């Protein structure tokens, strides 16, 4: 379960990184904050992929989101 949490948080951070990068380039400034978010999100996803026995497939990602949300709600 802990690797599911790492994966979900990492993917959410990576999702927020894309608009931050586009915004930084549109304003003609360096995307420093976005680069830090990219490293953190990518690191969490890499940690989850490397440490979970058997790894993840693309079919496992929606199930991981459901497990994490149900864990939080419970």
Report domain extents, the chain.
2-73
CA 19 distance to own-chain centroid: 14
Which residue carries 């003609």 as its tokens? 28
Question: With left for phi above 0 and alpha for psi between -120 and 50, is residue 35 left, alpha or beta?
Answer: alpha
DSSP-assigned letters across all residues of 9-61 = HHHHHHHHHHHHHHHHHHTTS--HHHHHHHHHHHHHHHHHHHHSTT---TTHH
Query: pTM here?
Result: 0.90
**Residue 16 confidence (pLDDT):** 96
How confident is the model at residue 1, as a pLDDT? 84
pLDDT for 25: 94
pLDDT in tens, the chain (74 residues): 899 999 999 999 999 999 999 999 999 999 999 999 999 999 999 999 999 998 899 999 999 999 999 999 98
């Amino acid at each position: 379960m802990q690797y599911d949490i790492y994966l979900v948080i990492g993917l959410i951070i990576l999702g927020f990184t894309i608009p931050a990068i586009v915004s930084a380039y549109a304003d003609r400034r360096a995307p420093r904050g976005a680069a830090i978010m990219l490293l953190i999100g990518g690191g969490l996803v890499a940690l989850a992929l490397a440490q979970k026995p058997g790894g993840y497939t693309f079919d496992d990602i929606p199930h991981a989101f459901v497990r994490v949300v149900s864990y939080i709600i419970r």
